[in-house]
Amino acid sequence: MPGQSREAYSNIDDGAPFSTGSQWLEKQQKAERKSRFIMISLLLTIAACIVIGVVVGVVVSRQHRHSSSASSVSKSQGNSTAGYAVGPYGVVRQTNPDDPSTFIADPNLHRSFYGLAYTPDKSQLPSCGNSLAAVIEDIQLISQLTSRVRLYGADCNQSALVLEAIKQTKVNMTVWLADYNVPTNATAYSEQRDTIIDALKTYGVDHVGGVAVGNEFILDYLGANDGGDDANDAVGDQGAQLLISNITDMKTQIQSLGYSIPVGTSDAGAYFNTEVLEAVDFGLSNVHAWFANVSIDQAAGWTYTFFEETNVYAADQLANRPTMAIGETGWPSSSADVSNESNGPSIASAANLEEFLKTFVCESNQNGTEYFYFEFADEDWQKELYGGVEGSWGLFYDNRTLKPIEIPDC
What per-residue string of b and e applies to 210-239 under the rule 16 or more CB within 10 Å gives b?
A: bbbbbbbbbbbbbeeeebeeebeeebbbeb
What pLDDT is recorded for position 285?
A: 98
Average pLDDT of the residues in 204-219: 98
**Taking 80 as the threshold, does the pLDDT of residue 70 lie above it?**
no
Average pLDDT of the residues in 136-158: 98
Out of 28-37, 96-105, 114-123, 147-156, which region has the weakest mean confidence (pLDDT)?
28-37
Which three-class secondary structure state does DSSP give residue 408?
Answer: coil
Residue 32 lies in a domain: no
Count how many residues are written for the chain. Answer: 410
Band (pLDDT 50/70/90 cuts) for residue 2 is: low
* pLDDT tens readout for residues 318-368: 999 999 999 999 999 999 999 999 999 999 999 999 999 999 999 999 999
What pLDDT is recorded for position 378?
A: 98
Band (pLDDT 50/70/90 cuts) for residue 48 is: very low
Residue 390 lies in a domain: yes
User: What's the structural domain count of the chain?
Assistant: 1
Average pLDDT of the residues in 399-404: 97
What pLDDT is recorded for position 86?
A: 82
What pLDDT is recorded for position 142?
A: 98
Amino acid type, 172 = N
d(CA 290, CA 349): 12
Out of 43-52, 203-212, 371-380, which region has the weakest mean confidence (pLDDT)?
43-52
**Contact call for residues 108 and 17 (beta carbons, < 8 A):** yes
What pLDDT is recorded for position 22?
A: 26
Amino acid type, 219 = L
**Taking 50 as the threshold, does the pLDDT of residue 89 lie above it?**
yes
Which three-class secondary structure state does DSSP give residue 41?
Answer: helix
Band (pLDDT 50/70/90 cuts) for residue 62 is: very low
**Taking 80 as the threshold, does the pLDDT of residue 72 lie above it?**
no
Q: Which residues constitute the domain of residue 252?
A: 104-396
Residue 81 lies in a domain: no
Band (pLDDT 50/70/90 cuts) for residue 156 is: very high
**Taking 90 as the threshold, does the pLDDT of residue 302 lie above it?**
yes
Residue 314 lies in a domain: yes
**Contact call for residues 75 and 63 (beta carbons, < 8 A):** no
Beta bridge partners, 177, equal: 211
* pLDDT tens readout for residues 241-298: 999 999 999 999 999 999 999 999 999 999 999 999 999 999 999 999 999 999 999 9
Share of the chain above pLDDT 70, in %: 80
**Contact call for residues 282 and 272 (beta carbons, < 8 A):** no
**Taking 90 as the threshold, does the pLDDT of residue 123 lie above it?**
yes
What pLDDT is recorded for position 83?
A: 57
Beta bridge partners, 176, equal: 150, 210
Band (pLDDT 50/70/90 cuts) for residue 85 is: confident
Residue 51 lies in a domain: no
User: What integer best gives the mean pLDDT of the chain?
Assistant: 84
Band (pLDDT 50/70/90 cuts) for residue 165 is: very high
**Contact call for residues 308 and 318 (beta carbons, < 8 A):** no
d(CA 16, CA 315): 42
What pLDDT is recorded for position 87?
A: 85
What pLDDT is recorded for position 299?
A: 98
Residue 351 lies in a domain: yes
Residue 45 lies in a domain: no
d(CA 370, CA 42): 72
DSSP 349-373: -HHHHHHHHHHHHHHHHHHT--B-B
Q: What is the CATH number of the domain that holds 108?
A: 3.20.20.80
Residue 87 lies in a domain: no
Amino acid type, 217 = F
